[in-house]
Each structure stands twice: as structure tokens, then as C-alpha cells.
Chains A and B, each alone.
Chain A
Amino acid sequence: MKRLANWRLLLMFAVMSLLTGCGENYLSALKPAGEVAQMQYDLMKLSTAIMVGVIAVVTIIFIIVVFRFRRKSNDEMPKQVEGSHTLEIIWTVIPILLLLVLAVPTVAATFKLADVSPMEKKNKDGKTDALVVNVRSNLYWWEFEYPDEKIVTSQDLVVPTDEKVYFNLKASDVKHSFWIPAAGGKMDTNTDNINKFWLKFDSKSAEKAENVFYGKCAELCGPSHALMDFKVKTVSREEFDKWVKDMQEVKKPAKPETAKAQAGQEVFNKSCIGCHAVTPANSTPEKARVGPNLSNFGERERVAGILEHNKENVEKWIKDPESYKPGNKMTGKYNLSDEEIDAVSEYLMGLKVQE
């Protein structure tokens, strides 16, 4: 019993020290990388502090009880006590006060995080001053549309640091949930309605994460739910503006540079273009955007969101997507020879919008 009690105390200290930072900079909610995550982290710390206090009181009483009141002889007959009004009032009122301490900042933060009013404010061009991204989740991939900039990309979300980024969230097939743990809590992408929220990426924290954060799907959506990852590339405002401009300038698919890539483009135009666009303009309707937009595929962080980004993995993926992401919608939609896959991969790796 003694060991048990000591062990609990130790655990408590472990909690406190662990909470002060663990996990990876690019993934952990315990390494907040922006205003939203920071607010949530502060609430975590506040609630943990209160709760550790409660646990301490319970533990002390618990230890005393377990040691002092063990049965020493079988003839013992303790006094039968009915209760104590004083004690009962104490342990009713104190928890209420503690909860009030927690409830007030909770309510305040809940409203602050839900404030998306800048999304509604249109300036004279009919655009918003704040950056808005439409997130559309699909079975095992993510699409990011920048409506004011009129561009679409997928799998890699590009955002400027040190400003609020507003999101419209929805799902195209089943419910998913949009989560960038280091930047802030998640919000579901529903099939019925559009959810809105905002996040902010702090440039200093972004540097620590080498400017790439991990994003996850947090709602069970099918076999490859675990593999529905995306990446967030954080850049300064100037770099972001440049990226947008570069994207907007791509009116035609990037020119293949080698003969093989040329051949790859031909294959792509026959077999792949029905689902995958290679121009970033958002002029095609959502329904027609069946697969991830590949305009800047050569600059992406991962193949299919999960594999290291090299040509070999692109080939493997195209050859047998089912073995990497079971249940995906791409399997069986095409029939390509090894040679053709080789060519297409070369073509795809060359799709870049920035020099």
C-alpha cells in the first residue's frame, strides 16, 4: 500500500514536469506554436494545477486512512458515525469555487476562439482583409482553396506566420476532423455544413519546427484514417505573397524538362487528368476536383501525405496505392505499365511553381 501511495505522488510530479514540454515541436500540443494553441495550453496548465491540488488533498486523506485505520484485532468495533454537516458543506463549496475559477477563463476562451467576424467583413473588392482558406476533406486527402486568391492546392497547406488565418471547413464524403496539434485544437469537417475557426502560427515556433507542422485527421473516417496526414508550411508574409503570385501565374501545366517527363505528361493527360488538375486556378467546380491538385507536386513534403518525397516512392504509390492507403479512391482507376509509371513519376516530380 505504501508503495502505491508514494508512486501516486511521484506520478503527480511527473505530470507537472511532463506537461512543461514533451513531444515534437512540429506535432505536440504541449509545444504551442501560436495564439490558439497557447490559450489552450494555458487552460491546460490552469486546470492541471487545480486538479493536482484536488488530487493532493485526496491523496493525503487517503494515505492517512489506509495506514491509521487498518484492523488490528478482530474485536474492534468502530463508532458508527452518520456524517458531518460541516465537512459536507466544506467539500461541496470548495469544489464549486474551484470550478468557478476554471469556468470563467473557459467561457472567455471558448468565445474568443469562435470569433470569426473578420471572415464576414468584405472590403471594397468583395474580398476579406484577413486570409481565408477553404479546407475540404476527402477520403484520405485534404484540399486547400484560397478563395480570394483564386488558387487551389492540396496536402500541403501554405500559411503566413504571425497573422490570423481563417478556415472554412467541410467534408466532401464522410466526416473528418482538421487538426494541427502544435497550432491549436481541431474542428470537425462535416458533410452537412461549413464550420469556421482560426489559427495563428508564431514565426519563432515555426522556426523551431523547421517551418513544417504536422496535420492530422482526428475523426475516424475509414481504413486509412490513420494515414490521412497533411503538412503545414509556414512562411513569412512576403514569401507567402510571392508564393500566391507564382501560383496565380501558372495558367498552363509546368513544362516537362526531360524527354521522359514529356512522355510522362502524355500518359498523365490520358490516364490521370480526369481526377488530378495540374493548374492551380480554382475555376473548376468542387465536384470535378476528385483527386488532389498536383500543380506544385514537385515541391511537396510527402507523397500521398505519408511517404518520403522522392521519385521512387511516387512510383511505388502509383503502382499499388492500396498497399499504402487501404480504401483509397485511386486504386483501380487506371492501368499503367511500369514504364509509364516511371515516366509519370518523373513528370510529377518536375511539377514546380517556384524556382
Chain B
Amino acid sequence: MSTYAQKKGFGATIWDYLTTVDHKKIAILYLIAGGIFFILGGLEAVFIRIQLAVPDNNFVTAGQYNEILTMHGTTMIFLAAMPLLFAFMNAIMPLQIGARDVAFPFLNSLGFWLFFFGGLFLNLSWFLDGAPDAGWTSYASLSLDSAGHGIDFYALGLQISGAGTLIGGINFLVTIINMRAPGMTYMRMPLFTWSTFVASALILFAFPPLTIGLFFLIFDRMFGSNFFDPTMGGNTILWEHLFWIFGHPEVYILILPAFGIFSEIFATFSRKRLFGYSSMVFATVLIGFLGFMVWAHHMFTTGMGPVANAIFAVATMAIAVPTGIKIFNWLFTMWGGSIKFTTPMLWAVAFIPSFVAGGVTGIMLATAAADYQYHDSYFVVAHFHYVIVGGVVFALLAGTHFYWPKMFGTMLNEFLGKITFWLFLIGFHLTFFIQHFLGLMGMPRRIFTFLKGQGLETGNMISTVGAIFMSIAVIVLLINIVITSVKNEKVGNDPWEDGRTLEWALPSPPPFYNFKQLPLVRGLDAYWIEKMEGKQGMTPAEPLGDIHMPNNSIIPVIMSIGLFIAAFGAMYHNEHSWGIPVLIGGMLITLLSMFFRSVKDDHGFHIHKEDLLEDEDKGGKA
């Protein structure tokens, strides 16, 4: 990154990133934006833990606490975890399947900017009228009752960023279906690509219910409809269903790519092909499918009746089977392997016991009758942090260390990486393990304080100490990133030396066209196969020729800004007369950009054969 800035002026670099359609640069944008939101969400978590460190604390007020807890959940899920996964999907998946870019580079950029402006809009609520305060689930009766514009920020912000996510998911699906290199059959795709594929399919089916739910909420709050008002014939349970039909697949959208990252890391640092590859693929697809069958287990106490509760309980338990298959396959990938404990591998190894702990409490929660006790208590808080932090966040941190050289051409410091790892691991278990017991001892979730004399003091204090450990770990990681970027020691194609998949056959970072000649894939772990036969790189599948590339475009940014402006109009139209004109104006900006994009012919450009050859003479190697 920094060399880039040296070659070009700062302004030119910014312009380049605003207009880029290159999947590798968009990945960096996702990484930076997701990283910033991750730190924001982390700060909110620290505030939560400070407030709950001692009983009757007044570090924040009750109202502020509800805002912080809502924004912590919403930010972490929508604005940190998903974009960070999108960063790795964008950076790595096209390389893994031997593609020159994603199928729709323009849409890729649009997806990012929609997410970014949606997230920005949501976070502006801190400065205007207060943040949303009805929890990330924003259940209808409370969200309609909430005063101020907090919930409007939530609904409109998520609507915009959700559109970005949906676009991104469709783009990845099409890319994986259509852009695989010659020989890259479905059953030769690396597990990370497979999990990206399944997660994208989940996005395609899970986000529309959320979109509908959010539209209902927007109409109810801003335009006088009554979808969720029982006195007018509406129904609040409708929101619960719509939200969880999205919300449950959402957790699989998060965890499946995490599984993918870990699968790559286990195989790489065990120097062994993934054990039971086909059953891993099968399990991934099955988890994705079952993920749509279990949403109502979030609603066992809503009063759906014993028949629905029993069905959803048993369906939920079924998910344990494919997940168990995965755990054992990972263990047996390491079995008989040659394990090297690099930082990414440490995260992967620690993930197994942590995630199993989260998984088994998931089964406990699935036993509907007992869930009446667990539901909405700190037991649930402990459970989902065990799976989301112990699964997704571990994967993101592992992936950051693992793919950093591929994305930036330089390695993060291993020593600092290991310090981050140990601090975070200890902090994580300290924070969340005790929360299982706090929940069972009668502590409901989402409480801004707890009274003395209920036996909850010690557990909460321990939990807060753990959060401090995790914060220090993240600070060490940031220091590591700064030091690494300043030093900027360049590395070669395969810096971990055990790379198995196609991305490690390319320079770090890869040239903007990725592959000079599309590679011929001869099996699973394509690069490993070539290495084992003593070859330096991939065998090309085509003669050297001109490469067709898309042009950069600023239109995605303008389109997203249009919706960003429109959202303000929608929100304020009830109290300010400028609301409706701003709403229409914003929509016009977006629609006119779409129109402009549609009528303007943009054929892209070609990199000529001669230039590619010249590249090679200079020492660049595809």
C-alpha cells in the first residue's frame, strides 16, 4: 500500500480507490472499513463491560447503555464481521478459482460503497438524535415505541448496506459458477471458495426477508403504515419471523466462510490435503440448507405452541451432525500431518475447542423445554459469543495473518501475532465462559445494571477483566500492522512455503490482471500438485494474449451517495418540509446514475500482449 502512495500522489491514490473495480483493491477497502467498524464495535463492547463490572454502576445511563448494546451487535454483525469476510472473499476467492476478477467488477464496487454509506449513515446516529436502542433484533413493539430517530437510522442504514451485501453475494455466486479456470471443477474448488459459494447462496435467500421486514419498519415508523401495530390489525410476531428467517441463516453466512478459512489453514500448515474433502463440501451445503429450517428456535418463548417448538428443536439438533463431521475432519487433517504452529495455525487450533464449546451449548439451547431457562439470559450471550468470536472472529484474525502477505506483499510479525493470539484467547475465555453461569444464575441479557445481593458480582467482574485482555490483544495487532506496513519487507509468491491453492502461485500482491495466462488446474490443491512435481508455477491453459479489463468508475460512489441522501429525506420528512424534496432528489441521483451507466457504452480496455511480455522482462512473473 505504502509503495503505491509513493508512486502516486495522495489524492491520486484516494481517487484510485474511490473508482477502483479491481477485486483486490475492493478487498482492501472492505478490510479497512470493516476494521474500523470492528474497532468501533469493540469500543462499545468495552463500554458494556465497564458498565457491568460492578453492581449499580453509572458509567453510562440506562438509555445510553441500550444504544451501546444495540450498536455493538448491529455494528459487529453487519458492519464488521460480514465486510471483513467479504474482504477475504474478494481478495482470495477469484485467485483461488483462477479468475482475472469477479464476474461484475462494477457491481463489486457498488456493493462496497452501499455497505460503506449504509454503515456511515447508521453511525451518524450517534451525533444526530441518538443511536438505535432496541437491540440488534429491534423487535417491533419496542422499535415502534422508541422515541427519536434511532430506529430510523437502524432501518434505513441497514437497508442501504443490506443492498450492498446482496449485490456482493450475487456477484460471488456468478463468479464461482462462471469464471473458474480450465480444469477447476466444482469438486476441485478449495474449501474457502466452496464456503464463499454457499454463504453467497444464503445471502441471496436470507437478505430479501430482512429487506421486507426493514421496509415494513420504515413504512410503519416514517410513512404511517401499521404492519406491526396490533391495535390496527398488524402483528409484532411477524417482525420476529421475518427477522429470524434472515437472522439465522445470517449466522451461517458468517460461520461458513470462517470454516473455509480454517480449512485452508489446517491443510496448509499440516502439509496434508483436507481429510474427507467431499464430505466437507457436503457438510457445508447441508449446514447452509438446514440453516433455513431452524429460525424459530430463536422464538421458543414467543408462544408458538409445543408442536412448532418441538419441530424446530429437533431440526436445530440436526445441524450438529454436519458440524461434527467438520470438526472431526479438521482433527484428522492434522492427524498424521506435519503441523507448523504459525500464528494463523494457532488461531485455527484454538478455534476447535472454543467452537466445540459454543456448538454444544447450541445443542443445549435447542432443547426447547430447557431453552425457556436459557433464552434471553447471559447463557445465550455466552453461547453466541463462543460461536461468533470463537468461530468467526478467530477466523478473521487467522485470515488477517494468513492472507496479509497475499494482499499487501509483506508478512505480519509472527512474534507480535502470537502475543495477540495468547492475550485474545485468554481474554475471550475469561470474558465469556463465566457468562454461561451468570445466565443460569438468573441474569437476563441486555440489562444496563444489576442490583447487589443477587450473587452476580464476581462473575461480572471476571468477565470485565477478560474484556481488557482482548482489548490489549487488538491494540497489539494494530501495532503489528503499523510496524509491518512501515518496514514493508517484500515477500515472494508462497511466503508460508506450504501454500496449496492457486493464490500462492501468484506474486504477492498479484498483478492487477491476476493471471497473465489462465492456469490449467489438474486437481484439488492445484499449486501443491505442481510443486510436488518439481514445477515452479502453474501450467498455462491458454497462449499469451491480450487481456480485457474493465475501466474504473466513480458511478458506484455517486449511486450510493444518492441513497444516503434519500435516507435523510425519508427520516426527516415528518418534521421538516425539506424531507420529501431531499428524498426525491437523492433517489434521482441514484436513478440518473443508473441510467447513465446503462446508456453509456463502456467497453473497458485491453492489456496488450507486448506489454505483458515487457512486464516479464522487467522481472515481473505471472
Contact = CB atoms under 8 A, between A and B. Distances in A.
Interface of A: 1, 4, 8, 11, 18, 22-24, 27-30, 37, 39-40, 43-44, 47-48, 50-51, 54-55, 58-59, 61-62, 64-66, 69-72, 76-84, 87-88, 91-92, 95-96, 99, 102-103, 106-107, 109-114, 169, 171, 173-175, 177, 179, 181-182, 184-188, 190-193, 195-196, 214, 216-227, 229, 306, 326-327
11 contacts: A28-B441, A61-B335, A87-B332, A181-B442, A186-B375, A191-B141, A220-B142, A221-B142, A224-B62, A229-B451, A326-B63
B442 A223 contact: no
A195 to B, nearest CB: 4
Contacts of A195: 302-303
B368 interface: yes
A78 B270 contact: yes
A57 to B, nearest CB: 9
B491 interface: no
Contacts of B368: 106, 109-110
B614 interface: no
Given A87-B276, A106-B369, A175-B139, 4 more contacts: A61-B335, A66-B349, A84-B275, A225-B447
A85 B195 CA distance: 22
Contacts of B572: none
Contacts of A171: 141
B530 interface: no
B-side interface mostly: helix
Nearest to B64: A223
B442 A69 contact: no
B339 A11 contact: no
A226 B48 CA distance: 14
A45 B133 CA distance: 36
Contacts of A88: 276, 279, 325, 329
Contact of A28 (B306, B321, B340, B440): B440
Contact of B341 (A70, A77, A107): A70
A99 B442 contact: no
A142 B328 CA distance: 49
Nearest to A302: B451
A96 B301 CA distance: 26
Given A174-B145, A225-B446, A43 B363 contact: no
B313 interface: yes
Contact of A65 (B334, B445, B448): B334
Contact of B331 (A47, A65, A78): A65
A220 B446 contact: yes
A192 B335 CA distance: 55
A30 B373 CA distance: 10
B162 to A, nearest CB: 22
B301 A188 contact: yes
Given A23-B440, A28-B441, A69 B369 contact: no
B370 A186 contact: no
A83 B440 CA distance: 41
A176 B366 CA distance: 22
A28 B442 contact: yes
A221 B142 CA distance: 6
A106 B331 contact: no
Given A28-B441, A177-B301, A186-B372, A218 B377 contact: yes
Given A22-B441, A61-B331, A188-B303, A96 B321 contact: yes
Contact of B364 (A44, A82, A182, A226): A44
A218 B320 CA distance: 27
B317 interface: yes
A43 B273 contact: no
Interface string B300-325: 01110110011001100110110011
Given A181-B442, A223-B63, A113 B341 contact: no
B384 interface: no
Contacts of B277: 82-83
Given A70-B339, A71-B340, A88-B325, A23 B356 contact: no
Contacts, number: 303
Interface of B: 61-63, 65-66, 133-135, 139, 141-142, 145-146, 230, 235-237, 270-273, 275-279, 301-303, 305-306, 309-310, 313-314, 317-318, 320-321, 324-325, 327-329, 331-332, 334-341, 349-350, 352-353, 356-357, 360-361, 363-364, 366-377, 425, 433, 437, 440-442, 444-451, 454-455
Contact of A218 (B273, B440, B444): B444
B425 to A, nearest CB: 8
Contact of B327 (A58, A83, A173, A191): A58
B272 A81 contact: yes
A68 B499 CA distance: 22
Nearest to A28: B441
A177 B447 CA distance: 13
B273 A82 contact: yes
Contacts of A196: 303
A174 B446 CA distance: 16
A220 B372 contact: no
Main SS of chain A's interface residues?
mixed
B353 A186 contact: no
B387 to A, nearest CB: 14
Given A40-B369, A185-B372, A190-B237, A83 B337 contact: no
Contacts of B139: 175, 219-220
A40 B278 contact: no
A110 B142 CA distance: 28
B51 to A, nearest CB: 10
A353 B446 CA distance: 37
B271 A22 contact: no
B441 A23 contact: yes
A38 to B, nearest CB: 11
B336 A222 contact: no
A159 to B, nearest CB: 18
Contacts of A214: 442, 454
A192 B376 contact: no
Contacts of A192: 230, 235-237
A280 B359 CA distance: 49
Contact of A29 (B324, B329, B440): B440
A78 to B, nearest CB: 5
A23 B455 contact: yes
Given A83-B276, A191-B230, A220-B66, A47 B328 contact: no
A114 B306 contact: yes
B61 A326 contact: yes
A30 B441 contact: yes
Contacts of A188: 301-303
Contacts of B349: 1, 66
A190 B353 contact: no
Given A43-B370, A44-B370, A76 B338 contact: yes
B376 A219 contact: yes
Contact of B305 (A30, A65, A114, A186): A114
A8 B354 CA distance: 10
Contact of B278 (A4, A64, A80, A83): A83
B63 A327 contact: yes
Contacts of A50: 363
Given A92-B325, A99-B317, A223-B63, A110 B373 contact: no
Nearest to A175: B141
A118 to B, nearest CB: 16
Contacts of B332: 81, 84, 87
A274 to B, nearest CB: 22
A110 B302 contact: no
A171 B142 CA distance: 12
Contacts of A29: 373, 377, 440-442
Nearest to A226: B447
B336 to A, nearest CB: 6
A50 B375 CA distance: 20
A109 B310 CA distance: 9
A319 B487 CA distance: 63
Nearest to B67: A223
Given A58-B331, A219-B139, A69 B338 contact: yes
